[in-house]
Chains A and B, each alone.
Chain A
Amino acid sequence: MYITAASTISHQPTFRNKGFAAGLTVLARPSALLHPDYKSFIPAMNRRRMSDVLAMAMACSVDCLEQCGVAQPDAILVGTSMGSNFFTKTFLDKIANASGPMISPTAFILSTHNTIAGQISLFLENPNYNMTHTQNSLSFEQALLDGMFCLQNGDHHVLVGAADESEDVLYNLNARLKTMDAHATCGASFFVLSAEKSAASPPVRLVDVGSFGLIGDDLSPYVLEFLQVNQLTPDQIDLVLYAGTKPATENALRRMFAGPVLLDYQVFSGVYYTNPAFALHYAVDLLTGERPPPVGNILICNNLIPENLGLLLIDTENARHGTLD
């Protein structure tokens, strides 16, 4: 299956900026989310009820579908760690501050985790399969895996994305990562996953996705088995984009991957639970840029929460396993 469109709104100039990966610099602290002008993607009457996470997801979805000329995807899948938390807090405030007997329901209506996927469906008037995965740092991988099932079951094009707002994750992240200096950011990335390749050159294939929870303290056997299932050895991987706790994740990866470049993609994305989606777009952009590096197989290794592991494997079709020609 192929990645035929990609769109990201983040703290970096990623949105509608093909070739961004080549010029990306380490994210400055503090940094801000770079919002596009949403007016050209979302009508004002729809925009008025949208939190950041909804607006980002909607703009990325519209952008993706335009890129590949798909009017109606066969499925809409979203991974989000905290979902529509802005409206959850808004409604809690309304409960706390209620002066009259009535509480306005809008925030409640928009507070469920599947508001993002649901609003995309409503906006497109799309009646197809619609799913929301919320497994903290593995939310995106799980949505992507579900998207692969859709294609295996005969779908042609599915829209898969991830979106998270920033303030939501702060407390959660810092406590869970046992570090108080995570550069908490946020973002949204959406993709179209297609059974057939598009005209884009070179076509980028999504080879496999893995989601492993409660893995203990050694990720190595999971990574090696994942590669083995895909008939690869570590030396056939050209680039590993990873997120994890330093130095544990990096050391473990170094022991396995002698040759390939190891890159901590969080220096670009900042830290949020669905940032492997940023890494995926980064990788796709690298491979399809004007001067693509001599890279065939890319592994994205998400060890953001030490006991959880997400793995994404992509390649370009014209790169044979292990050799570039």
Chain B
Amino acid sequence: MKIYVTGIGVVSAIGSNVDEHRYALEAGRTGIRFSESHNLMLGEVPQSDEALAKRFELSGDDHSRTALLGLAAASECWAGNKPDGQLRTGLISATSVGGLDRMERYYLQAKQNPSLDIHPLMIHDNGRTTETIARALGITGSYIGTVSTACSSGANAIMLGARQIESGRLDRVLVGGSDPIALFNIKGFSSLMIYDPDICKPFDDARKGLNLGEGAAFLLLENERSLSQTGNTPLCLLAGWANATDAYHQTASSPEGRGATLTMRGALAKAGISPEVVSYVNAHGTGTDNNDLSESAALKNVFGAAIPPFSSTKGFTGHTLAAAGAIEAVFCVLSILSDATLPNLNFKTAMKETGFVPETAFRKGSQIENVLSNSFGFGGNCTSLLFQKLH
């Protein structure tokens, strides 16, 4: 059974729609800047909560930025599509922050002022942010779900959508992820001593860690039956996917890249293709010492001496956690549509352990047929997706 990608939508530090992302990727323009308020490098989306809420005519103060960013990307992706009684339509989103952006604000304020109303605490519920997006788009009475597996969440939401269609339970499904910047995560990654004080440098020998970013992205997946009803033009195929666990450490990746090796091989097997025909790999590439070394080991395991062109795009967006897998999935679709590999910003010197050199320019030339996207998260959770050009 073929799973068609027929829509994409994305918001991040480098743009508020797909076109702006394409331009930024082509121009090699990062969205990561020094944040005065947090005193470190961040990939922030410039729109305020108020502006986003106004745009979607949401009233009240109980909408987390997770839902607002998610809605910005989901509505671009859903665009002219409509609810249709003949098609079983679902929505699966991913988030790690959920309503925590609001909760942390009130929680820390309540510490100073115990009489403060803790009512807003109740929005710390991942599912609720997904329901806000579904309701606004008119996707109701069907499978509305949320997955949360830390930094692999977005990729897992996409995979789960494909599994739903494959099982015959859904005809089309909007899949993606959303995460805002939360103080919680800034402090958290800093406490792990993996936050680069300068701009992140994935796969560089001098890399010092990640920069956080925020954003959201969604893809519309459809089966043949849905396509014949909607008349949508497919952009490409989601041809393979796999999830596995590193089973090594709660937060660190195994030196031999066990989980990542399993998922890249699994996604290739699911798509029924061999490693030689992979045109480009969008790596997880957070810029931490541990991830980039472990992922490189996994690339070597899967591809041997013939490593395909690869890059991490986190130098553009920062690490957007649960949204990362979805944002990078949109980048993979753009790579296929423009027949171009995407640049890995801030790379100077190859890691001495591997000598691997990532793609450093938006490079057109050869046809991009098969693109792998990697996402790895806490709990050793690893996922790879394979997108394929449609002929």
Contacts and interface: CB of A to CB of B under 8 A. Distances in A.
Direct interface between A and B, CB < 8 A = yes
Interface of A: 76, 81-83, 85, 88-89, 91-92, 94-96, 102-105, 108-115, 117-119, 121-122, 124-139, 142, 145-146, 148-149, 152, 171-172, 175-176, 211-216, 222
B108 A92 contact: yes
Given A81-B127, A103-B187, 7 more contacts: A83-B126, A104-B191, A113-B126, A127-B247, A134-B148, A213-B144, A222-B141
Contacts of B250: 109-110, 115, 118-119, 122
Given A113-B96, A122-B250, A172-B124, A215 B141 contact: yes
B263 to A, nearest CB: 10
B379 interface: yes
Interface in B356-388: 377-381
Contact of A172 (B122, B148, B150, B379): B122
Given A82-B125, A130-B379, A211-B143, A135 B191 contact: no
25 contacts: A92-B108, A105-B192, A109-B251, A109-B378, A112-B96, A112-B377, A113-B126, A113-B149, A114-B149, A127-B246, A130-B149, A130-B245, A131-B147, A131-B149, A133-B145, A135-B127, A135-B130, A135-B144, A148-B167, A149-B166, A172-B122, A211-B144, A213-B140, A214-B131, A215-B141
B211 to A, nearest CB: 17
* Residue of A94, A112, A124, A148 most packed against chain B (CB within 10 A): A112
A122 B96 contact: no
A198 to B, nearest CB: 25
A114 B124 contact: no
Interface in B180-203: 183-184, 187-188, 190-192
A95 B183 CA distance: 9
Nearest to A124: B247
B391 interface: no
Contact of A121 (B150, B163, B164, B245): B245
Nearest to A125: B247
B150 A112 contact: yes
Given A88-B100, A109-B251, A127-B259, A139 B191 contact: no
Contacts of B248: 122
Contacts of B121: 171-172
A121 B247 contact: yes
B140 A126 contact: no
Contacts of A222: 141
B369 to A, nearest CB: 26
Contact of B244 (A92, A127, A145): A127
B49 interface: no
B378 A216 contact: no
